[in-house]
Structure 1
Amino acid sequence: MTIQTSKLSDPAVRAFVSAVNAHDRQAFLDTLTPDATMSDDGSDRDLADWIDREIFSSHGHMEVDNESQGGRSLVARYRNDAWGEMRTRWSFTIEDDGRISHFDTGQA
């Protein structure tokens, strides 16, 4: 059963998922700290390159199936034009200012 984005527990994660699904690059970047990092399947990736390729140029979309750790870990069905749909896990490190300093994703 999918969790509506508006019902996600953590405000930063909710804003992140909303920005992905709206294809709103600026809103997405606003959820991140200036020095944010990310990894995919445990390997560090170039954030700007990855988000362009995996989210914005390929119309990425997340449907969250469940959340844990206060909403900072998700299991979601993620789809984009490059890879189709896959079951993915996401985890987020959120700073005191409410922005994401790191996220990790990969196949679930």
Structure 2
Amino acid sequence: MTIQTARLSDPAVRAFVSAVNAHDREAFLSLLAPGATMADDGSDRDLDEWIDREIFSSHGHIDVDKESNGGRSLLAHYSNDTWGEMRTRWDFTVAEDGRISRFETGQA
């Protein structure tokens, strides 16, 4: 069963999922701390290139199935126009200012 985005526990993660699903690049970028980093399937990636390719140019969408670690770890179905739908995990590091300093994703 999918968890409604509005019910996600961590405010930064909730805003991240909302921005992805609304295809709102400006809102998404405002959630990231300066120098934010990310990894996909265990390998660090260029953040700007990855989010353009995997989220914004390919209409990415996250449906969260389960959250843990105070809402900073998600199991979700992720879909985009490039890869279709897959089961993924997402782990977030949130800085003291409430912005996301790192996220890691990959197949679950």
Fold shared per TM-score above 0.5: yes
Q: Identity, % of aligned pairs?
A: 78
The number of aligned residues is 108
Give the distance between the partners of 1:15 and 1:34, measured in 2 at CA: 17
Partner of 1:76: 76
Q: Can you list the C-alpha shifts for 1:26-47, whole angstroms capped at 9, x where unaligned?
A: 0000110021000001100000
Partner of 1:90: 90
Alignment of 1:46-85 (within 5 A): 46-85=46-85
Q: Which amino acid counterpart does residue 87 of structure 1 have in structure 2?
A: R
Give the distance between the partners of 2:52 and 2:89, measured in 1 at CA: 19
- 1:9 correspondence with 2:9: yes
TM-score by length of 2: 0.99
The alignment partner of 2:89 has SS state of strand
- 5+ long unaligned stretches in structure 2: none
Q: CA deviation at 1:21?
A: 0.1
- 5+ long unaligned stretches in structure 1: none
TM-score by length of 1: 0.99
The alignment partner of 2:18 has SS state of helix
- Cα RMSD (Å) of the superposition? 0.3
Partner of 2:35: 35
- 1:102 correspondence with 2:102: yes
Partner of 1:44: 44
Give the distance between the partners of 2:80 and 2:37, measured in 1 at CA: 21
Give the distance between the partners of 1:64 and 1:75, measured in 2 at CA: 6
Give the distance between the partners of 2:64 and 2:28, measured in 1 at CA: 17
